[in-house]
Structure formats: structure tokens, C-alpha cells
């Protein structure tokens, strides 16, 4: 099983990533909004992530709002040389915790500038354009703005998030797409309609990603997978004396060498438990059973 993955390996600025990242979304308050319940623990998790060899953090300025970015800077700045901070733009939040589209070229520029400011960076290594449902701005117009910001040097690599296969194919004709971030986990692999819109499935774009050597970064990999649909994960967890969360993560690591898991948690003990999934080696028979 590969322990590293390369982002944008066909460009002159490839990024080497240890193949287990950390998603910061759960470090916010209830409803992915506001300050964490336990701020010292949130800061400790971020520090422990780096101490554990993680060099990829997934964040967004609409987590909180801006809570996770500020936590990252407080815990880790000045950053290790190999740390890759990936953020997302295309959405924002209201005080009622609703999610709204924020994807005009002007909106995207504002979001990038805000991320640069709060993360205390001059350039962001990787930015995902997050597609929101019912957008009045054409997909190409928003993505073109992203590539313009890349040309200005504010973004090193451009990725897309929550895309259909058709949108991914379009994006690849417009410029180099470094990564794709879609919903993906053992228990939910395809598009799911949720309260705030569609979450596009990773299974639907995985073959495109693999054939073009584009890493797939799954979100909600545990959120939608831990509620059991059957007992297969539990059976394998018992076999390895592991938790079901660990087997869900191990399944992602074995599913494809182009998947970069970023499981998130607000519990330090769960973080330390989850990261042990890297040491679980599933057999072909295990994978056949789980698939």
C-alpha cells in the first residue's frame, strides 16, 4: 500500500503528501459553526497531527466561520516546510448556520484573500472550488476565476469539490486539476441528497481520477459510514481487534492508491485511535468481502 501520494505530479510544482491527512471541519462548534467546545483540545489535535507525520490539513474559511483557519495558525504558525494546507471556496455561512453560494469571481477573490490573511500565507498550496447546488453563476465562470487567481500567484494548485463526472471533465479542459474532493466512504459511495443540497459521490469520479492520476480526497468518509447498513465492517473490525472507524479508514486506503483520506474528529483520543488505521493491512479477501 502506497504511503505517499503526489499532487499535480505533471506540473513543475508537485507536492508530496503522506497518505493520511486530517480534516479540520469537526474542530468547530455545533452545526460546523462557531468556536469549538474545547479549544485547548482542538489546538492539541492540530499539533499532534503534525507530530504524527501528517502533512496535509483540509480547511475552509466557512468552517466556523473562519474558526479552523485561525486555529491552524494559532497552533502551527510558523508552519513546517512540508505542511500542505488545503482550503475551499465557493460557499459562505449565515448566522443562522445556513450554507449559501458564494462563487462569483469577486466572491472567490474575497475568499482567497481572507484565507491568505487568516492562515498568514502569501500563497495557498491547494484550493478546492466547492460546487454548490442551485448556483446562478456558471461553473466555467467560477472555475475560470480560480485559474486567474492561480496565474496571479495566490493559489499554487487548483482542485474541485462536490463535482459530477461531467463537471470534472469540463474542469480538466480548462486547466490542470490537482485534486477532487467528493463525498466518499464505505457506507455511502454515490451522490446523496442532503438537507442543504446534493453531496456528489466519489465512486462516480474515481475512475476518472485514477486514469488521470488525480488524487480523490473523500469528505464525510466516517459521518455517512459509521451508521451501519450491514455488519461487514463490524466483522472485519472484530477480526483485527480494531474499531469500525479504523476499518472504514483502512478500506479507503486499500480501495485505491489515489485516495487520500482526511478523517476528522474533535476528540484527541479518537484522533490517536483513527490514525492507527494506517497500520491495518487488509487482505484481498477482506476487500472482496467489504466491497
* Catalytic residue set: 63
Query: How many beta carbons lie within 10 A of that of residue 59, not counting itself?
Result: 27
- Distance CA(6)–CA(153), nearest Å, equals 21
Rounded Cα gap, residues 202 and 224, in angstroms: 13
Size of the chain in residues:
291
Q: Which residues of 265-287 are buried (b: 16+ CB within 10 A; e: fewer)?
A: bbebebbeebbebbebebeeebe
Contacts of 25 (CB under 8 A, 6+ apart): 32, 58, 59, 60, 63, 68, 219, 264
CA-CA-CA-CA torsion sign (70, 29, 106, 164): positive
Distance from the first to the final alpha carbon of the chain:
17
Amino acid at each position: 500500500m502506497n504511503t505517499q501520494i503526489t499532487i499535480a505530479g505533471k506540473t513543475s510544482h508537485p507536492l508530496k503528501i503522506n497518505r493520511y491527512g486530517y480534516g479540520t471541519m469537526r474542530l468547530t462548534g455545533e452545526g460546523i459553526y462557531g468556536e469549538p467546545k474545547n479549544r485547548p483540545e482542538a489546538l492539541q489535535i492540530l499539533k499532534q497531527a503534525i507530530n504524527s507525520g501528517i502533512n496535509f490539513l483540509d480547511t475552509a474559511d466557512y468552517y466556523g466561520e473562519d474558526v479552523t483557519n485561525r486555529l491552524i495558525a494559532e497552533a502551527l504558525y510558523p508552519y513546517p516546510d512540508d505542511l500542505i494546507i488545503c482550503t475551499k471556496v465557493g460557499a459562505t455561512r449565515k448566522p443562522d448556520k445556513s450554507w449559501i453560494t458564494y462563487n462569483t469571481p469577486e466572491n472567490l477573490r474575497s475568499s482567497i484573500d481572507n484565507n491568505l490573511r487568516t492562515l498568514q500565507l502569501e500563497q495557498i498550496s491547494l484550493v478546492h472550488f466547492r460546487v454548490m447546488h442551485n448556483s446562478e453563476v456558471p461553473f466555467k465562470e467560477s472555475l475560470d476565476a480560480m485559474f486567474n487567481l492561480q496565474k496571479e500567484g495566490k493559489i499554487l494548485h487548483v482542485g474541485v469539490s462536490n463535482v459530477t463526472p461531467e463537471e470534472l471533465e469540463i474542469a480538466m479542459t480548462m486547466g490542470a486539476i490537482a485534486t477532487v474532493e467528493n463525498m466518499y466512504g464505505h457506507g455511502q459511495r454515490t451522490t446523496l441528497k442532503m438537507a442543504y443540497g446534493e453531496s456528489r459521490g466519489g465512486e462516480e469520479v474515481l475512475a476518472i481520477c485514477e486514469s488521470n492520476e488525480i488524487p480523490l480526497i473523500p469528505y464525510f468518509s466516517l459521518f455517512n459510514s459509521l451508521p451501519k447498513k450491514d455488519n461487514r465492517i463490524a466483522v472485519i473490525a472484530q477480526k483485527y481487534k480494531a474499531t469500525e472507524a479504523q476499518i472504514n479508514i483502512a478500506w479507503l486506503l486499500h480501495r485505491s492508491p489515489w485516495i487520500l483520506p482526511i478523517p476528522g474528529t474533535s476528540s484527541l483520543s479518537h484522533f490517536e485511535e483513527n490514525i492507527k488505521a494506517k497500520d491495518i493491512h487488509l487482505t484481498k479477501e477482506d476487500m472482496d468481502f467489504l466491497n
